[in-house]
Amino acid sequence: ETGVTQTPRHLVMGMTNKKSLKCEQHLGHNAMYWYKQSAKKPLELMFVYSLEERVENNSVPSRFSPECPNSSHLFLHLHTLQPEDSALYLCASSQGGLRGNTIYFGEGSWLTVV
């Protein structure tokens, strides 16, 4: 149990589907993140929310749309994805900024786009 819970753990979707990934953290942190992990690259930061406000958008295509309704919940809405978007999507949280503050990850959501 990492304190960061992601659902669903596995998702298969067609390129015309709309789906969402959900993340909930139980650590009392005030910053939440979406990362993408694929076989060919190290972890890539997608979005960061601090106190429910988006503070980073790392040049992510608009077919990925994040939502942070409160400091404990984070969503990633998916629409018209491409097969190359298939990857492990990791949610993470931290207390404040990253200087000396560890970031904790969830177990991830495996996404397959067909």
Partner 1 sequence: GESVGLHLPTLSVQEGDNSIINCAYSNSASDYFIWYKQESGKGPQFIIDIRSNMDKRQGQRVTVLLNKTVKHLSLQIAATQPGDSAVYFCAENYGSGYSTLTFGKGTMLLVSP
CB of 85 to partner 1, least distance (A): 14
Binding to partner 1 by CB under 8 A, coded x per residue (else -) over 31-70, reads x-x---xxxxxxx-x--x-x----xx-x------------
Q: Tell me which stretch binds partner 1 (CB under 8 A): 14-22, 60-68, 73-81, 100-108.
A: 100-108
CB of 105 to partner 1, least distance (A): 4
108 is an interface residue for partner 1 by CB under 8 A: yes
Q: What is the 3-state secondary structure (H, E, C) of the chain?
A: CCCEEEECCEEEECCCCEEEEEEEECCCCCEEEEEEECCCCCCEEEEEEECCEEEEECCCCCCEEEEEEECCEEEEEEECCCHHHCEEEEEEEECCCCCCCCCEECCCEEEEEC
Strand partners, 45: 35
Which residues are at the interface with partner 1 (CB under 8 A)? 2, 4, 6, 31, 33, 37-43, 45, 48, 50, 55-56, 58, 87-88, 90, 97-100, 102-108, 110
